């Protein structure tokens, strides 16, 4: 599928032994250990949609098998990348019991679909049919067009005598129009490791009934073998396939396993998702030509990258169809006049992560985005007329230095020693490892003359509310360019998990104090709790509520509010706030 020109202005542009321990996880998440060491140093419509889903299930829909048969729609339904007149719809069919994900078997299947504003489908707005086969792993993905702006819809699929569950989705407001609700409310999620726990955070987002979209910022799946990266005291549930995923079949099987999680299926069916990847959709610490977690005996990196990318584009409800065919995962979506969202791809084009002391690579040679994506991003931010410019950003953009250095007074010393000019970063896999490109990005942002820039970030398995300073050693005197809200992980290990200590332990608390004490632009950080974030944009503010799970290793665990932060229109500052109503 060719990428719609209105979606983005870039259109020109060997099996390993299982283990009950987690040495790989500990090695590969050194950033969290470094943090610990630093310390030592719309409602009624939602109910209608849920009722329609229950009705469909009761009537033999939702993938329920006929007598003596099997379920056709085993992996649920999903929608994504909403625009003012269209939205991506997705499902997967299992034509025979043998046609499992990644198997490469099964005949062509014709799937029909319907979209309606009515959960009972009394009036059909759009309908059609599409065929799928083993070459697409029997996934179905297409743009449902001709829809009204700023509107809720319901959708369903039919194939082989069965009907799917009913999905609920919506379109964006028309370009230039403010949303009828006066706001854009988003669930923000990242880092959901199957072996580390249950996806209860997704269930709590469904139960709210007030989200417009979910923004997913990467690490939707994890590539590790069984036991390779588990919860604090071992695996909560086991990965399939049991070995580290390398081939196209492997990636398809792993994605399909995650899509059997009931809470994940429910949230996909509840609202449209806007997704990007980080590294674990392919392999840990991936870059353009390799990854930390890719070894020579696992074959050619290009082949592995192509396999993982193909499976991702098949299984995710995103408009781009294939990097291999010239598409781009990075893209731009608008929420009327209120917000413009630039979703970044920070793995496909980046240079290899530099050493923490390699000042030349950090300050000059490295690129996080690649030249084409950087140009697309800066041009888009400059031309945007939206009230808020939002960046979906898979790794932290705010500097975290030990300590932050003032280049005016320390420049001669950093040049002599060959260390990065702003100080030594605790995690060069973040934007800190590409500080020269980050400076150029924020120079471009300052040159726009605008102030409402909000970065939404995942990856780091912890919660942060940051101001992005012009100069971290001269904060706040030199000014602030943007704010950043970093969402916690759904399940992936936090500092307390790595240390095998209770949440809120003394080491984690000391690390939090040390990080914010040395970097005053970090207004708040929590290193231990799992959960999600809800961010609301209005004409007057962008507001983030951080939510934590009581125990992510328990399927029916509850959730509670951690903290709320707000940035007011034109301020580029974050301040504590009460929770949203």
In the 3-class helix/strand/coil scheme, how is 242-265 assigned residue by residue?
CCCCCCHHHHHHHHHHHCCCHHHH
Residues 6+ apart with CB under 8 A from 82: 169, 170, 171, 172, 213, 272, 274, 333
Which parts of 435-493 are beta strand (E)?
453-457, 463-469, 480-486
In angstroms, the CA 396 to CA 394 distance is 7
DSSP 347-400: SSSPPPPPPTT-HHIIIII--SS-HHHHHHHHHHHHH--SSEEEEEESS--S--
254-278 tens-digit pLDDT? 999 999 999 999 999 999 999 999 9
Give 335's DSSP letter: E
Share above pLDDT 90 across residues of the chain, in percent, rounded to a whole number? 75
Nearest to 503 by CA among 518, 488, 516, 514: 488
Q: What is the per-residue pLDDT for 426? A: 74
Can you tell me the distance from the alpha carbon of 60 to that of 62, in angstroms, rounded to the nearest whole number? 7
The residue whose two tokens read 């390398």 is 246
- Furthest-apart CA pair in the chain: how many Å? 78
- The number of C-alpha atoms within 13 Å of 336 and in the hemisphere containing its C-beta is 20
pLDDT greater than 70 at residue 522: yes
- Distance from C-alpha of 389 to C-alpha of 372, rounded to nearest angstrom: 20
Give Cα separations from 502 to 250, 532, 549 (angstroms). 35, 20, 14
Is the bond into 476 cis (omega within 30 degrees of 0)? yes
**Torsions phi, psi of 572, nearest 5?**
55, 25
With 60 as the cut, is the pLDDT of residue 2 above it?
A: no
In this structure, are residues 84 and 175 in contact, taking their beta carbons and an 8 Å threshold?
Answer: yes
What is the mean predicted confidence (pLDDT) over 91-95? Answer: 98
Specify the pLDDT at position 142: 97
pLDDT by residue (tens digit) across 466-515?
A: 999 999 888 999 999 999 999 999 999 999 999 899 999 998 898 898 88
β 453-457/388-393 pair status: parallel
pLDDT (0 to 100) of residue 515? 85
Q: Which of 2-6, 308-312, 414-418, 496-500 has the lowest mean pLDDT?
A: 2-6
Q: Spell out the domains of the chain, with CATH numbers in brackets.
A: 23-42+181-576 (3.60.21.70), 43-174 (2.60.40.380)
pTM for the full predicted model = 0.88
| Per-residue pLDDT, 53 | 37
| Both tokens assigned to 281 | 């959709």
The single-letter DSSP state of residue 401 is B
Exposure string of 351-368, with b = 16+ CB inside 10 Å and e = fewer, is bebbebebbebbbeebbb
**Residue given tokens 């993982």 in the structure block:** 308
Nearest to 377 by CA among 341, 338, 335: 341
**Three-state DSSP class for 451?**
coil
């Amino acid at each position: 599928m060719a990428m719609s020109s209105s979606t983005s202005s870039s259109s020109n542009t060997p099996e390993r032994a299982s283990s009950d321990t987690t040495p790989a996880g500990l090695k590969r998440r050194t950033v969290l250990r470094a943090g610990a060491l630093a310390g030592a140093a719309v409602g009624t419509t939602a109910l209608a949609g849920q009722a329609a889903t229950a009705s469909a299930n009761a009537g033999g829909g939702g993938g329920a098998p006929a007598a003596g048969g099997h379920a056709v729609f085993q992996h649920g339904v999903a929608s994504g990348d909403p625009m003012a007149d269209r939205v991506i719809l997705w499902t997967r069919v299992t034509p025979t019991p043998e046609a499992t994900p990644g198997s490469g078997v099964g005949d062509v299947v014709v799937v029909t679909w319907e979209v309606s504003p009515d959960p009972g489908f009394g009036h059909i707005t759009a309908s059609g049919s599409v065929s799928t086969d083993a070459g697409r792993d029997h996934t179905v993905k297409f743009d449902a067009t001709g829809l009204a702006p700023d509107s809720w819809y319901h959708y369903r699929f039919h194939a082989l005598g069965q009907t799917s569950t009913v999905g609920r989705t919506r379109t964006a407001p028309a370009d230039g129009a403010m949303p009828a609700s006066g706001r854009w409310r988003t669930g923000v999620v990242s880092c959901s490791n199957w072996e580390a726990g249950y996806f209860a955070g997704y269930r709590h987002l469904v139960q709210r009934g007030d989200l417009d979209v979910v923004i997913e910022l990467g690490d939707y799946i994890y590539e590790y073998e069984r036991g390779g990266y588990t919860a604090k005291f071992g695996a909560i549930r086991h990965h399939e396939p049991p070995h580290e995923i390398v081939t196209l079949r492997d990636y398809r099987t792993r994605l399909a396993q995650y899509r059997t999680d009931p809470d994940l299926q429910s949230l996909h069916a509840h609202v449209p998702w806007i997704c990007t990847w980080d590294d674990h959709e392919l392999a840990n610490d991936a870059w353009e030509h390799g990854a930390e977690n890719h070894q020579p005996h696992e074959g050619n990196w290009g082949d592995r990258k192509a396999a993982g990318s193909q499976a991702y584009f098949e299984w995710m409800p995103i408009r781009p169809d294939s990097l291999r065919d010239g598409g781009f995962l990075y893209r731009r979506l608008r929420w009327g006049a209120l917000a413009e969202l630039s979703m970044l791809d920070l793995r496909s084009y980046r240079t290899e992560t530099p050493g923490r002391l390699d000042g030349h690579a950090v300050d000059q040679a490295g690129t996080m985005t690649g030249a084409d994506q950087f140009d697309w991003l800066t041009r888009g931010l400059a031309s945007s007329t939206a009230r808020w410019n939002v960046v979906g950003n898979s790794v932290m953009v705010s500097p975290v230095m030990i300590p932050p250095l003032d280049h005016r007074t320390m420049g001669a010393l950093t040049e002599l020693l060959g260390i990065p000019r702003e100080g030594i970063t605790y995690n060069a896999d973040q934007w800190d490892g590409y500080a020269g490109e980050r400076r150029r990005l924020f120079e471009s942002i300052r040159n726009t003359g605008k102030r409402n820039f909000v970065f939404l970030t995942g990856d780091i398995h912890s919660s942060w509310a940051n101001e992005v300073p012009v100069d971290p050693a001269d904060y706040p005197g030199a000014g602030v360019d943007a704010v950043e809200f970093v969402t916690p992980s759904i399940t992936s290990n936090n500092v307390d998990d790595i240390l095998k200590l209770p949440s809120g332990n003394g080491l984690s608390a000391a690390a939090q104090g040390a990080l914010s004490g040395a970097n005053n632009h970090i207004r708040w950080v929590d290193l231990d709790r799992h959960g999600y974030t809800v961010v609301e944009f209005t004409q007057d503010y962008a507001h983030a509520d951080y939510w934590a799970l009581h125990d992510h290793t328990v399927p029916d665990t509850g959730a509670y509010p951690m903290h709320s932060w707000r940035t007011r229109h034109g301020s580029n500052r974050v301040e504590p706030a009460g929770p949203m109503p």
